[in-house]
């Protein structure tokens, strides 16, 4: 399965002109923010090779990031560790999505959201698409933008807190990360509401 522009064209057939694909990255990690992107593609200039960011090499993601930035409208936003712990990871993911949509220079008039649940504060016409990052080019573009930006955040945090391997595990619960937690302890960037961290505290 490769993403195409059919969901977007269906929305255009209903009269919508500014269709944003929205996706988030970072629901599973033990540390760091959750990051979302909203992308409005130009139908006349869709980058070649768009796909779910997890299916692309780092080199391909970085190439597509640059191409998307050149031809599309992009907004990227985060929800913090404090917000994740305060309202839960699902609601924090939706908060990041809403912030990304609100950050677009010109508002979207229709939204394609990866997954099976719309953010409850979303008032725009919208639809959810399960595995949307593999089916909709707008959502796959959003998944790439969110992935690249969150990885940059984790690389920066890895320099501030060496030893946890965030530069390679991006905050996920890898063996090295768990061992470092036991040796070095919990940082302010760890999600205290997540079981492994909660148990340590």
Binding-site positions for a divalent metal cation:
23-24, 114
Strand order in the sheet with 19-25: 73-79, 34-40, 19-25, 110-114, 126-129
Residue labelled with tokens 């269906």: 10
Residue 116 burial (CB < 10 Å; 0-12/13-18/19+)? exposed
Q: What is the enclosing helix (H) or strand (E) of 64?
A: helix 58-71
SS3 139: helix
Q: Which of 18, 53, 51, 49 is nearest to 35 (CA)?
A: 53
Q: Which residues line the annotated binding site?
A: 23-24, 114
d(CA 181, CA 30): 10
Radius of gyration of the chain (CA): 17
Asked if residue 124 lies in contact with residue 109, where contact means CB atoms within 8 angstroms, the answer is: yes
Residue 125: other Cβ atoms inside 10 A: 13
């Amino acid at each position: 399965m490769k993403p195409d522009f059919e969901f977007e064209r269906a929305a255009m057939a209903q009269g919508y002109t500014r269709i944003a694909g929205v996706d988030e990255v970072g629901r599973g990690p033990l540390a760091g923010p959750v990051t979302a992107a909203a992308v409005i593609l130009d139908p006349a200039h869709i980058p070649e090779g768009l796909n779910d960011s997890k299916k692309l090499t780092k080199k391909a993601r970085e190439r597509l990031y640059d191409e998307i930035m050149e031809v599309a409208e992009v907004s990227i936003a985060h929800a913090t560790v404090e917000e994740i712990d305060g309202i839960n990871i699902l609601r924090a993911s939706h908060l990041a999505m809403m912030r990304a949509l609100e950050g677009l220079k010109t508002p979207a008039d229709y939204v394609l959201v990866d997954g099976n649940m719309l953010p409850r504060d979303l008032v725009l016409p919208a639809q959810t698409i399960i595995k949307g990052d593999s089916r909709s080019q707008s959502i796959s573009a959003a998944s790439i933008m969110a992935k690249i930006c969150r990885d940059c955040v984790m690389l920066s945090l890895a320099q501030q807190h060496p030893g946890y391997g965030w530069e390679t595990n991006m905050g996920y619960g890898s063996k090295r990360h768990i061992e470092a937690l036991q040796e070095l302890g919990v940082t302010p960037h760890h999600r205290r509401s997540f079981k492994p961290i909660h148990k340590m505290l």
